[in-house]
Structure formats: C-alpha cells, structure tokens
Amino acid sequence: MSTGFMSLVTVIVICIMAVIAGADGPQAIGNWAAHNEAWLRKHLKLPGGIPSHDTLGRLLVAFRPVAFQKCFEAWVASITLSDEGTDLNQIAINGKVLRRKLTQP
C-alpha cells in the first residue's frame, strides 16, 4: 500500500475523462482508469496508483451533484466560445480542431 496522496483535482479529472469515454459509475470509471493507466501516468501524478472503485464511489457520493453539475456546465460553456466570441455550443473531444465552414446552396 502506497503512502502517496493523490490530489482531488487528479481524481476529478480521471472521473470526467472516464465519463466522457462512456463510464457510468465508480466501477466503470475504475476499469477505464486501470485500462488507461500508462497514458494517465504520463499526464497526471498518481503516487498511489489508480484509485479503487470504492474510493471513486466515496468521492462521487460526497459531491453535491447539482452543484457539481452547475460548475461543470459553467466550465464547459467557458471553453466552447469561438475566437470571434460566438457560442459554438459544442466541444471537440477527440483532439481535432473544430472548424466551421459556411457553404452556399
């Protein structure tokens, strides 16, 4: 058992990425994280390894879901503005650049 502590932000990032990838609960989040551990270790500090699904479950229960959803929606809204300041109302999560093309009929 490791004595290293993982930041709350790191655990939240893991949860958000797993949910975007289709995870629907603590067990699925833990499975996704374990499957992607090598990639996660390149980008996050994981001193104790991947958190267990029990740890993830306790964290998710401790959040006030409505408050978290409002914060998350505000964050998403803040990153969905185009360079011109118009709301694109979407996020490209696959790493590709989002481009709009106006086409004439």
Q: What is the pLDDT of residues 68-101, one digit of tens each?
A: 888 888 877 777 666 665 655 555 555 544 444 4
Question: Would you say how long the chain is, in residues?
Answer: 105
| Structural domain containing residue 35 | 8-64
Tally of structural domains, the chain = 1
Closest CA to 45 of 104, 2, 5, 97: 5
- Note whether residue 17 is domain-resident: yes
- What pLDDT is attached to residue 89? 58
Residue 27 counted as domain residue: yes
DSSP bridge pairs for 87: 81
Residue 88 lies in a domain: no
User: Among residues of the chain, what percentage have pLDDT more than 70?
Assistant: 70
The reply to whether 54 falls in a domain is yes
In a domain, 75, yes or no: no
Residue 81 within a domain: no
The answer on pLDDT for 19 being more than 50 is yes
User: Considering the domain boundaries, does residue 79 fall inside one?
Assistant: no
Flag whether 70 is in a domain.
no
